Amino acid sequence: MPVISSSACAKLILLGEHAVVYGEPALAVPFLGLRVRCVVEPWINGPSGMIQISARDLQINQTLQALPEDNFLRKAIELVLAELKVSRTPTCKLGIYSEIPISAGLGASAAIAVAIMRALSAFLGHPLERETLNRLAYETEKLMHGNPSGIDNTVIVYEQPVLFRKNEPIVFVHPGSTLHFLIADSGIKKATAETVAYLAQQRERDPESVDTTLAEIGKIALLGKKAFEQGDLAALGEAMNANQSLLAHLDLSCEALDELIAAARQAGALGAKLTGGGKGGNIIALVTPISQENVKEALLSAGALSVYLTSLKGMAAND
């Protein structure tokens, strides 16, 4: 069997995180510049039916069979074997190499699962179709996050911007003009499962207030989609800022994120907000080619661990 290498990108939620878990719409885009790569190769002279897994970022270097049954890497591999009706586990090595920070709101767990599934299914001679891949990746997300919306695995599998609503058909969207974003890492790691559980507890205590806020976030996501498709940067920035205010109201932001968001806006960002689970992780700022260097410098001065630039090509022919 040949050596197979496959990859998957990170994701960015522009509008609607957390609300999307409860059936509201959310707008998300692929972050193509950050990726995870999975390499599968034959394990020459390895024990028959054993898969050796190495993932430095996850501090894993052991066989599939030695991983706990609830480990999401094991789940991803076993789902592929079951889907392809593989009766005899292949003797191979599986290496995972990720540029995506863990517990930073960028979809690392979904990207790792997708990269594994792509590489292993191709290694076995039956690459998974995207619809099947998305369905299986969602199963690993349930193991990781308990009650995921499915938005992370969907954006990562299709690598296209989407307006996502739980249990509804995927709506692909296209920016009306080229969009430029800076992503700044607060350096605070926070698992999305923790913030999802935190909001669920808040909702149990005060369902009316929380549901009202989540519905407002959903409305903002729809307004943001319109601005996104029209290439209306000012309106998209306003939607991002409004979304951040509501996320802060739900106590999903933190001092470090608030400082980065304020620094980005003061330096000329059209909009800025947390992206992902919140209470740590990253912020996303909408910038222009003129403002992006000033905003980047401001974010680094405000304590950002790292700052990435990503762009989405607009639909206009002369854009």
Residue positions annotated with a catalytic role = 152
What span, in angstroms and rounded, lies between the C-alpha atoms of 285 and 296?
10
What span, in angstroms and rounded, lies between the C-alpha atoms of 154 and 183?
20
**CB 1, CB 42: distance < 8 Å:** yes
CA atoms within 13 A on the CB side of 170: 21
Provide φ and ψ at 81, rounded to 5°. Answer: -60, -40
Provide φ and ψ at 55, rounded to 5°. Answer: -145, 95
What's the sign of the alpha-carbon dihedral 188, 193, 199, 201? negative
Neighbouring residues of 212: CB distance < 8 A, sequence distance ≥ 6: none
Q: What angle do CA 281, 267, 101 make, to 5 degrees?
A: 20
